[in-house]
Amino acid sequence: MDKLKISEQRIIQTITTIITNGYIVGFMKGKIFTGNSKFICVPGLNCYSCPGAVGSCPIGSLQAVLGGRKHNFSFYVLGFIMLFGVLLGRFVCGFLCPFGFLQDLLHKIKLPKIKVPKRIDKPLRYLKYAILLIPVILLPIFLTNQYGMAQPYFCQWICPAGTLEGGIPLLIKNEPLRETIGFLFNWKMGILVLIIAVSIFIYRPFCKYICPLGAFYSLFNKFSFYQMNVDKLKCNGCKTCEKQCKMNVKITKDINSVECIRCGECKKACPKGAITSGVYLEGTVGVTKTNEHTFHQ
């Protein structure tokens, strides 16, 4: 049963990655998809310059609108992010994000794992909110050129997904693009290599500390329709779930914490079957007693 549950997450991650990057011809020709579906934002961090991408990255789109001449606020992109957030919260991170999937796979490599000390881990968790606020929102609005336009600062200087999904496959197939490689590409490759290497030893470092999209979705974790729940009547307080949680969530106190990516590892670890998850249409959940809520699993 455990193995089946693990494979469920991997299956969903694989399917989502394939669906959102389904333009296989793009990889073969070194060109990106130019169809109309690209006006729709996908839930995960998925670069629209990936040759296979059939939708748009919400973070890239947000910067494109904010950094354009016409608008200083993007109802459209925020609407998409709110929609995914209120429906699923950080379930998107756990199941629907291709870059989260990559980090999961890297962490499977059998090498010693590192647990970041609390005094470093805790303040670093706030970094993703600063990244959301400064390079994703404020700089594209205020740091503009003489035409009132701004660069997508996060994509340009930080995002490793763009380098991996867009940069590498496009540069492999395009000689003219390869000739333009300079400091910026080397900088971004450095970030990508660093995150790949760290992901082997630390669970999802990009999601924990850097990802502005995860930061956004985390704000919805307590309000989303998809919720985690601990049944206090069944829970014996053994904290096996907390020992198992790689995101270091205090499950018995705050299971729908901003850091929970709804991976379901706690649910599998619980010897009492006290942890459930699903779509709750009525009431709120978290740490409750049985039969208090309408629950559709």
Partner 1 sequence: MRKIELTKLNIRYALLISSFLFVGVGILRGEHLVVLKKAVNICLECIGVG
Tell me: does residue 295 bind partner 1 (CB under 8 A).
no
Place of tokens 């990244």: 131
Nearest to 45 by CA among 141, 225, 142, 166: 166
Rule CB under 8 A: say whether 203 interacts with partner 1: no
Site string for partner 1, 16-35 (x = CB under 8 A): ----------------xxxx
Is 198 or 219 the residue whose CB approaches partner 1 more closely?
219
Helix, strand, coil shares of the chain as percentages rounded to 5? 55, 5, 40
Q: Which amino acid is located at 40 in the chain? A: I
Gap between the Cα atoms of 279 and 297, Å rounded: 6
> Can you tell me which of 87, 124, 127, 198 binds partner 1, judged by CB under 8 A?
87
249 with 260: CB under 8 angstroms?
yes
CA distances from 42 to 47, 59, 96, 139 (A): 10, 10, 9, 23
Among 64, 139, 195, 215, binds partner 1 (CB under 8 A): 64
- In the chain the first and final C-alpha atoms are separated, in Å, by 17
From the CB of 134, what's the least distance to partner 1, in Å? 17
Is residue 229 within 8 Å of residue 285, measured between CB atoms? Answer: yes
Q: Looking at residues 206 to 245 of the shown chain, list those that interact with partner 1 (rule: CB under 8 A).
A: 220, 222-225
CA distances from residue 246 to 197, 214, 233 in whole angstroms, order as listed: 17, 16, 25
Residues in the interface with partner 1 (CB under 8 A) total 61
Within positions 104 to 163, which residues make up the interface with partner 1, using CB under 8 A?
151-152, 155-156, 159, 162-163
**DSSP H stretches of helix in 108-211:** 118-124, 127-131, 139-142, 153-157, 160-161, 168-173, 175-178, 183-201, 205
49 contacts partner 1 (rule: CB under 8 A):
yes
Stretch that binds partner 1, among 79-87, 110-118, 127-135, 207-215 (CB under 8 A): 79-87
193 binds partner 1 (CB under 8 A): no
Residues 271-290 that bind partner 1 (CB under 8 A): 282-284
* Residues contributing to the site for partner 1 (CB under 8 A): 32-36, 38-39, 41, 47-49, 53, 55-56, 60-61, 64-65, 68, 70-71, 74-80, 82-83, 85-87, 151-152, 155-156, 159, 162-163, 166-167, 170-171, 177, 180-182, 184-185, 187-189, 220, 222-225, 282-284
